[in-house]
Structure 1
Amino acid sequence: MVASNGTGNGGGRRPAKPHAVVIAYPYQGHVIPAAPLALRLAARGFAVTFVNTESVHEQTARALGVDRHRYDIFAGARASSDHKEPLDVRYELVSDGFPLGFDRSLNHDQFKEGELHVLAAHVEDLLRRLVVDPASTCLVADTFFVWPATLAKKFGVPYVSFWTEPALIFNLYYHMDLSRRARPLQLLQGPAAEGHHHVDGLAHAALAGFLTHCGWNSVLESVWAGVPMLCFPLLTDQFTNRRLVVREWRVGVPIGDRGKVFPDEVSARIQGVISGQEGKELRQALRKVTAKLKAAAAPGGSSQRSFDDFVDELTHRCACGGGGGRTLMT
């Protein structure tokens, strides 16, 4: 089933400009970086269709206390104002094959099976409607999916594999993979942290520290806001992220570093971050790391230059109608 919230193009021909179909992985932590990427592509002249699952859409609307049938995360971007032109960004919903009430965490293996087969089939149905002109269309999908390259080849469009974890983690995975097979890969560095959804809250003057599981979104947001972190990782890249935060950048402290959490340790860590010498040293280190991050995202910064190169390459691929099925990384 393919569902629309009423902002799709209804199958009609889109304006004569490059069209990026952005597909977010069905977890909120992956939607968070994908949405700003969609907006930045739209701001650079792309017509963008952002694809979300009905389940994540419903969870987000429920958390915000709004009607899921009317909620559209890009409504504001499409509205013109005195200072900004409206962006050509559309919002489409697809089913992941399970009812909204299905517990995807409790039934993890079943959900992953559906993600692999059912969600892919629903996205393919949607692409049959969206890909009006393959020569000017590209597919931008989260690297965690395993099927976008196959769909891109089927529809004859370039494919951008969007990596949402630290480049360090990608490097580790890549070199682990080299032990099994060698494959050439073009890697393009994407935009930095500006615009992430927790930054305003983290920037509050009363906030002295941030307890985080060390997801990459949270790490970037905390550094951007200059807030020390209390690090309690749970899985995957989060343990490596903690090492970056605690040992390399020295802008956070660990909690439960040896697998167990004790109340006195938590209390001592919080007090140290809030009022101790440790907190002063963390904030001093943060000022340097924050400055580097903001410099990278600023006009002319390394992240901005990399994003400019990426947009130029993608625009060229769409304009020339070349690269059907070929993969780029960002």
Structure 2
Amino acid sequence: HILYLPSLVISATKILQKKKLWKKKNSNVKKHHAIILPLPLQGHINPAVNLSLKLASSKNFTITFLTFEFLHQDLTRAHPYIDTHIDIFSQEKQGPNGVDIRYRVFSDGLPLKFDRTGKLDEYLEWYMSGGMFDQVEKEIEEVVLKSNPKVDVLIIDTFYPWASKIAKKFGLRLASFWTEPALVFNLYHHVHLLKLHGHLDCSDTRKDPIDYIPGVQSIKQHDLMSYLQDKDVSTNMHKLIFQAYQDVRKADYVLCNTVQELESDTISALQALMPFYAIGPIFPPVSPDKAVPTSLWTESSCLEWLGSMPNGSILYVSFGSLANFSKDDVTEIAYGLIESNVDFVWVLRPRTVLHEADHLLPVGFEEVVRGRGIVVPWTNQIAVLSHPAIGGFLTHCGWNSVLESVWYKIPMLCFPIFTDQFTNRKLVVDDWKVGINFGNGQPLKRMEIASQIKRFMSKENGDELRENIDVVRKILGNALEDEGSSSKNIDLFIEQLI
């Protein structure tokens, strides 16, 4: 043991020296104060919270995190231990090393009881007409006027089409926060080229591959985001997207939850146009059981059941926080799981079938699968994906799910439903080869579902996918190292703020 003592002393000395240098270096760093406003959707809230923690804990930032009253109400309902008057960051703010994150709740201007999901078009009307803008502007004005240290940057979701107007009014640097891959951003950014070449908003839309977008070698029509596959692009949702992409051109920076090495050509093309920083993957900085409570639904734990199952044997089935199905789709998936004989955890979210009551599953389903499958309304996805019993993920290909699945080395069975998920699927299946297709755009049929699940969970198929996912996972990990691309990019962004 004495032989190892000198190396231990040297290592300890180096660590202490490094800490002193870090403290000395950061004592001279300018204290920035950022207002962060995510889009009011689960998949946008999570990375915004994690970015807030990253900036506040290691980058000398004060953060004012804004959220709407209806979201805070959902959070407190989903986490009964949270007092309605206590913010979600309260635990991280405690102690001598606590972060400086100020949590502010304000109204979006509509009654709390207004059904923002069921009446989406009405909500978008409010969003677009200026009703929400007035509320956000008033809240940001109060923060800017009363805060110390002084606010100097607004980090706001790209889908707010009036972000530049607010930033300009209060003299703030504008960082547009993009929570999807760079490929999706690039395609939206070049909508004008899609229209010019007849791949969008034409009476006879072209179906051939698209090979003229800078940074994209070639992409098929069916791999575009669902909003760019639609024939009618005059809806409120399309107006919102197109206006947001005009506004983002005025941003001082774009922060993207991706990794430079995974989308190098696309990112290089975007960097030729704007200050575009790949800073992902943006994950919670602590273990899942200590993470900031961000779930909008009560989480059911299935870890005890998973603990009784063999490693790599369980298929995790979840289609995210937003996608909706028909009742027939739910029925076919249920019978497909029965016929596959594969053990599973299925997240069947509330309102998976919009405007339908509960009892979506076939009569007797849970009795038939008892012992080899469980259904929960919502769960902690990171806790599940990180469990050794999980062997595969039947997913909608939401971007957070894709990154988390790669991080925990779980192959994906890809069933995109709408928005960016079709384009994410292309990256997962065609480019990185860490997943396979499910459904292939055809109506769901139970026996085909069963066959695909069996093939996906087979050892032969799984081994090949895992070899590929090991490579991609290493790229993610390397990006977050001190000298990794994402770490360097976030530091470069902060340098540009000075």
Do the two structures share a fold, i.e. TM-score over 0.5? yes
Task: Give structure 1 stretches of 5+ with no counterpart.
Answer: 1-15, 317-330
The answer to whether the 8 Å contact 2:157/2:178 transfers is yes
Residue 75 of structure 1: aligned partner: 90
How far apart are residue 160 of structure 1 and its match?
0.8
How many residue pairs end up in the alignment? 296
Correspondence 1:87 to 2:99: yes
Query: What percent identity do the matched residue pairs reach?
Result: 41
Identify which range, 235-244 or 275-284, moves more after superposition. Answer: 275-284
**What residue number does 1:121 align with?**
134
1:100 to partner: Cα distance? 2.4
Task: Give, as a single letter, the amino acid of the residue that structure 2 aligns with 1:216.
Answer: W
How many angstroms apart in 2 are the aligned matches of 1:170 and 1:86?
35
Tell me which residue corresponds to 1:303. Answer: 486
My pick for the range that moved more, 54-63 or 120-129, is 54-63
- Indicate the larger mover: 136-145 or 114-123: 114-123
Cα distance between partner residues in 2 of 1:302 and 1:259: 39
Q: Structure 2 residue aligned with 1:46, among 61, 73, 76?
A: 61
Question: Hey, what does 1:58 align to over in structure 2?
Answer: 73
Q: Which has the higher contact order (CA 8 A, sep 6+)?
A: 1
Unaligned 5+ segments in structure 2 are 1-29, 197-245, 250-272, 289-380
User: For the residues of structure 2 that align with 1:299 and 1:265, how far apart are their CA atoms?
Assistant: 46
Deviation, 1:232, is 1.3
Deviation at 1:306, TM superposition (A): 0.7
SS of residue paired to 1:75? coil
Inter-CA distance 279–37: structure 2 relative to 1 (3 Å threshold):
same
| TM-score (ref. length: structure 1) | 0.83
Q: Distance in 1 between matches of 2:455 and 2:282?
A: 27
Q: Contact (CA 8 Å) 2:35, 2:155: kept in 1 or not? A: yes
Partner deviation per Cα, 1:112-135 (whole Å, 9 max, x = no partner): 122232221111111221113797
Q: Secondary structure at the match of 2:102?
A: strand
Counterpart in 2 of 1:202?
A: 385
2:163 is aligned to: 148
Deviates more, 1:127-136 or 1:100-109: 127-136
Per the alignment, residue 36 of structure 1 pairs with 50
Change (3 A) 1:252 1:60: farther
TM-score normalised by length of structure 2: 0.56
Whether 1:229 aligns to 2:412 is yes
Q: Does 1:260 align with 2:443?
A: yes
CA distance in 2, matches of 1:272, 1:303: 36
The 8 Å contact of residues 61 and 71 in structure 1, kept in 2 or not, is answered as no
Report deviation, 1:67.
Answer: 4.6
Is 1:279 matched up with 2:462? yes
- 1:238 and 1:167 map into 2 onto residues whose CA distance is 13
Answer with 105-114 or 187-196: which moved more.
Answer: 187-196
Larger radius of gyration: 2
Structure 2 CA distance, aligned partners of 1:289 and 1:49?
34
- Tell me the residue number matched to 1:27: 41
